[in-house]
């Protein structure tokens, strides 16, 4: 893939096109809040906070506002 980005999502390597948001890269990953409710991006502009993930150890990053970068380690909390 031309202008591609390699990153890790929940321990699995993936490749996306340059310019892809983390929210788009994790589409289809079932995530749950700390109370067990399903979570997914709703607003796409950082207001709802439902797209939060951990990136490179930094918690509560808004995936809809973050572009994928090579070598990123994204943890969605899907295993919880």
Q: For residue 60, give its domain range.
A: 4-75
Residue 59 predicted with pLDDT over 80? yes
CATH number of the domain enclosing 65: 3.10.20.30
Q: How confident is residue 79, by pLDDT bands cut at 50, 70 and 90?
A: low
Q: Is residue 80 part of a domain?
A: no
Cβ distance 61 to 77 under 8 Å?
Answer: no
Number of other residues whose CB lies within 10 A of the CB of residue 62: 20
Is 12 domain-assigned?
yes
* Per-residue pLDDT tens digits for 4-58: 999 999 999 999 999 999 999 998 777 777 787 777 777 888 888 888 999 999 9
Q: Which two tokens stand for residue 65?
A: 């506002």
DSSP assignment of 9-41: ETTEEEEEETT-BHHHHTTT--EE-TTS-EE--
């Amino acid at each position: 893939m031309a202008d591609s980005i390699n990153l890790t999502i929940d321990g699995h390597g993936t490749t996306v096109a340059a310019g892809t948001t983390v929210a788009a890269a994790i589409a289809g990953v079932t995530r749950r809040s700390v109370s067990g409710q399903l979570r997914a991006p709703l607003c796409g502009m950082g207001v709802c906070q439902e797209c939060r993930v951990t990136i490179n150890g930094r918690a509560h990053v808004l995936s809809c506002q973050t572009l994928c970068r090579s070598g990123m380690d994204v943890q969605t909390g899907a295993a919880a």
